[in-house]
Structure 1
């Protein structure tokens, strides 16, 4: 009799485990861990604003298949050790992870999420480590850093630039961007002539600048967050060694935040983007975003888009949702949403491919 009771209890346990956490008859719970404190706090805040704006809209309209969407937000300060502790806290409460920010933080997170076969969706990073066969439950909305750095290098080379330097963050993010620059330059039979790095969550950029000024550079591509990149640009623009040098950043920098930090020193700085303009795009998805967000930015637009694509996937998958059904549904998901085509059915599980180049002019990002 005791053996029968044990077997029945074990069967109930297994059956309960097969149904994903984070799903009830009335709601779906998602988990977001990103930076809302520290030197990258505007990036996490922006992503969260976009996610919240769209999911609030969904909930006001009655939810998806009768369920509202709830998001548990946690702050990691853009430090991987806090990413991990937050993941452990929320894992049993959520269906999937969404809208994380950063490469070093994602590097830690996906090692953890893959062990439990949890979907890791729409992270704010273009690093290749999220685009491999070893991370099958990671779904990327944005284009990659390789694509961004190629677009920047191709642009500079087309205007006669041949001498390149790289300013980068000393971690997985910086290395991912540096790798992209090297590959892009290699396609033109060029190489990085100088490089300098700084530590994550630090404004100590002087040593990096010292290394960069050893060469006369036409362009410096920057792989960093907005505050240290702004600090470095302002210092270098004041130095004779960098007279005539052009500066470029990839999208992770946070365009609006970089512009604010640079002030009148921003003119001419180029930024690659993975989203259309939040201010001027006529795409229906961007118009919808502007109806629900007051202060526009590329970061909050990306959060809004990530939430909308995830919600559309939930609608398509149907009412019977668990983590396996979510993964299977996303793996073949392809749909035109608001004028953009999102397609995860590729080796990188990356929905978008397009890069938009912008230049700061009078405090605004203007399309090149």
Structure 2
């Protein structure tokens, strides 16, 4: 994060916290600049009418992350419809304003400018390059925004939030799990294939920290997004004598790497970031190798979990979208909208549905359980909202193509790492 962003974020956060402490909005209407107040004394703002609250979703439905974007959006729509069926929030129905940027920055900038005056908040912004291009504008406009990317570089922004553990925290938890279960220790070599970009570099940062703590040597292979065949990188890791491989790449690259390892007889465990997996990979020739060799560290449980919330989501989604594939994006969409609705309820209770009021309401959420994953704490913008992770593995014939291996856990190294970031 740049020094400019830190200074601006600190100033905005101070203003928001002052709003929380003084209950700003409770006596709304005394100042003409405060914004309109409804008949029940609730201050309103952009995107809020007497009957609706409009929420923005700026996502990728037609570009490289289209399948994920579609799953997340459909789960969000499902959640919104269920909330509206129960009367909505603050006497208003929720309305989604959706735009497909196709992962094009210029398109996203234009769409944001068009969308911004119409929305109260934006619980759905997909794409690290898109976020970076819009971050300054989001801060200036006071639009409470949920990132659908989980890099810790996005922390510290009062108007931008991430849900669940960030990529680096997941990798610290996952790497220590791998080291413990495989007996890895000082002097051992572990390969790491990671994507050059916010996602891969952030996950690698966590892995690098844990490797230093455990005395393990990382043999690193950075790859670009256009790289399809990772057999060369895998062969080099085999020659280096690695005992395991970490991987934070695209799903297609994950399949390439694990398949290549199986082909050359590199019989070592792979641990990947969950975003680098798609259940559709189980329909490819790499499926047997993925099932046998790959585990994933994830911020949410597998959709085979027997918790009532997961079972209900699967049943509701299949009823609403019969035949559509199930993946972890469903949990992301559910949790994202659950947090947004909780923010709006808290803002309504504080009689302040203005944008600043929604930001303040979000930052008062210290122990919110969205039903799918760890309890979330949004009170400190400089910390991830959760620091626990799950271990899952590919499995055919089950919802989402993943089976649970280890429930939510957190290793001691996570807090040591976080202390280095502040």
TM-score normalized by structure 1?
A: 0.85
Structure 2 equivalent of residue 199 of structure 1:
225
Which of 21, 25, 49 in structure 1 is aligned with 2:50? 25
Q: Aligned with 1:166: secondary structure?
A: strand
Mean CA deviation greater in 144-153 or 252-261 = 252-261
Q: Is 1:303 aligned to residue 325 of structure 2?
A: no
Q: CA deviation at 1:209?
A: 4.6
Q: CA deviation at 1:14?
A: 8.7
Q: Is the 8 A contact 2:305 2:311 kept in 1?
A: no
Which of 208, 211, 216 in structure 2 is aligned with 1:190? 216
Q: Is the 8 A contact 1:51 1:303 kept in 2?
A: yes
Q: Is 1:280 aligned to residue 312 of structure 2?
A: no
Which of 387, 392, 401 in structure 2 is aligned with 1:353? 387
**1:120-269 counterparts in 2 under 5 A?**
120-121=145-146, 123-132=147-156, 135-158=157-180, 159-161=182-184, 162-199=188-225, 203=228, 205=230, 208-209=233-234, 212=237, 214-240=239-265, 243-261=266-284, 262-267=286-291, 268-269=293-294
Mean CA deviation greater in 351-360 or 103-112 = 103-112
Alpha carbons of 1:181 and 1:314: their partners in 2 closer, same or farther (altered >3 Å)?
Answer: same
RMSD: 2.7
TM-score normalized by structure 2?
A: 0.75
Q: Is the 8 A contact 1:249 1:272 kept in 2?
A: yes
Q: Aligned with 1:280: secondary structure?
A: coil
Alpha carbons of 1:103 and 1:254: their partners in 2 closer, same or farther (altered >3 Å)?
Answer: farther
Q: Distance in 1 between the 2:153 and 2:392 partners?
A: 26
Listed as ranges, the gaps of 5+ residues in structure 1 are 1-10
Structure 1 equivalent of residue 402 of structure 2:
365
Q: Distance in 2 between the 1:114 and 1:208 partners?
A: 41
Structure 2 equivalent of residue 324 of structure 1:
356
Number of residue pairs matched?
350
Structure 1 equivalent of residue 342 of structure 2:
312
Moved over 6 A (4+): 11-14
Q: Is the 8 A contact 1:198 1:205 kept in 2?
A: no
Q: Is the 8 A contact 1:107 1:129 kept in 2?
A: no
Alpha carbons of 1:225 and 1:160: their partners in 2 closer, same or farther (altered >3 Å)?
Answer: same
Q: CA deviation at 1:154?
A: 0.6
Q: Is the 8 A contact 1:273 1:355 kept in 2?
A: yes
Q: CA deviation at 1:109?
A: 3.3
Listed as ranges, the gaps of 5+ residues in structure 2 are 1-30, 37-42, 319-324, 406-422
Which of 100, 109, 116 in structure 1 is aligned with 2:134? 109
Alpha carbons of 1:254 and 1:82: their partners in 2 closer, same or farther (altered >3 Å)?
Answer: farther
Q: Aligned with 1:195: secondary structure?
A: strand
